[in-house]
Amino acid sequence: MSSFSSAVSPNATIVRPPFFFVSGFSDIPHGKYYYIFMCFVYVVTVLGNSFIMLIIYIERSLHTAKYVIVFHLAVVDMCGNTALIPKLIDTFLSGNQLITYEACLANMFFVHFFTFMQSLTIVALAYDRFIAICFPLKYHVIITNVAMVVILAVLWTLTAGLVIAAVAFLSRLSFCKSIVINSYFCDHGPMYRMACNDNSPNYIIAKIAITILLVGPLVLIVATYICIIFALLKIASREERLRAMKTCTSHLIVVTLFYLPISIIYIAANVTIVHPDVRIISTSLSSTIPPMLNPIIYTIKTEEIIKTIQKLFKRVKIIKPEVS
C-alpha cells in the first residue's frame, strides 16, 4: 500500500493506482487445485472449439446461416476463456497477483465483452430456430449468410459500445481506499464499488448493460420458445413435432448451461448475503464451463456435424490403405 500512496499525486483529482491486487482464489482452501482445473478447462475449450470451427470450415454443406452462428459462438467461447483463464494460470505459476491499471481495464473489457457476446450469440441461434420452425417456407429467404453476418456485426457494435462506456466511466473514478479487487479478474462490479468518488454513472451503465445484454436476451429466448411450442402444437404428426423439436435440443442445453448458473447467482446475491469465496467460485464456473461444453454439445447433439465427422473418418480410412 505504501507504493500505492507514493504513486498518487496529492493534487490529483482522479486517483489512479499504478496497479491493482486481484485476490483471485488465494483465500480459497486448496485453491491451487482449482487453478489446475481451470488449466484443464482452457485446454478442452481450445481443442473443442477449434475442432468445431475446423469441421464447419472444411465441410461446404455446413456453410449455411445457422452454422455461421455456431462458428461465431465457437470463436466467442474460445476468445472469452482466453481473455480470462491464461491470466489466472499466469498468476498461479508466478505467484504475482498484481496487474497494472491499464492492463486491468483491458482485462475488464475483453472478459465482459466476450461474456455478453456469448449471450447475444445464443439469442441469434434462438432466432434461427424460431424462423425455421414458425416460418419454414420463408426460412431460406429470411435466414441468409449475409443477413446473419449483418446481425452479428450489429451485436458486436452494440456490445462493444456498452462495454467501452463502462470502462470509460470506470477510468473517471478515484481509487484512494483500496487496490484489492475481490474477484478473479478485473470485474467491473467490485471495482466501481471501491471508488471514493461518485460511482453512480457506473452503477447506471452496469444496470443498462445487464438489462440489454443478459436479461433482455433471456426474455427474448423464452418468448421465442413459447412461439415455437405453439407452432409445434399445430403440427398434426407426432413424428414431425419430435423431429422439429430435436433441432432445438442442442440450443436448449446451451441456453440452460449459460443462463441458469448466472440467474441463480444473481437471485442469490439479491436475496441473501453470499460469501465472497462462494461468489468467486460460482461465477468463475458459470463463465468458463459453458464455453468448454458448447462444442461438445453441438458435436454430440447435431446430426449434420456427426455425419460430417463420419464422412471425414471414412475419407481417412480410404486414404490410409492407398498410402500403405
Tens of pLDDT, residue by residue over 266-283, are 777 667 776 777 778 888
The half-sphere exposure of 55 on its side-chain side, counting CA atoms within 13 A, is 25
The alpha carbon dihedral of 126, 268, 181, 174 has a sign of: positive
- Is pLDDT of 290 > 70? yes
Please state the domain count of the chain: 1
User: CA angle 210-211-213, nearest 5°?
Assistant: 65
Residue type for 225, please? Y
Place of cell 459453458: 290
**Tens digit of each residue's pLDDT (9 = 90 or more) over 29-41:** 777 788 889 999 9
Q: Is residue 1 part of a domain?
A: no
Q: Indicate the range of 100-109, 150-159, 189-198 predicted with least confidence.
A: 189-198
Q: Is residue 47 part of a domain?
A: yes
Which residue segment(s) compose the domain that 261 sits in? 21-287
Report the chain's mean pLDDT, rounded to a whole number: 87
Nearest 5°: phi and psi at 69?
-70, -40
- CATH, residue 268: 1.20.1070.10
Give one DSSP letter per residue of 252-312, joined into a string.
Answer: HHHHHHHHHHHHHHHHHHHHSPPPHHHHHHHHHHHHHHHHHHHHHHHHHH-HHHHHHHHHH
Q: Is residue 82 part of a domain?
A: yes
Separation of alpha carbons 225 and 231, rounded Å: 9
pLDDT of residue 11: 43
Q: Is residue 308 part of a domain?
A: no
Q: Do the beta carbons of residue 237 and residue 187 sit within 8 Å?
A: no
Q: Is residue 127 part of a domain?
A: yes
Banded model confidence at residue 9, pLDDT cuts 50, 70, 90: very low
Mean pLDDT, residues 69-93 taken together? 92
Among 68, 130, 111, 103, smallest CA distance to 255 is for 130
**Tens digit of each residue's pLDDT (9 = 90 or more) over 214-251:** 999 999 999 999 999 999 988 878 888 888 888 899 89
Q: Is residue 133 part of a domain?
A: yes
Q: Is residue 147 part of a domain?
A: yes
Q: Is residue 302 part of a domain?
A: no
pLDDT of residue 208: 94
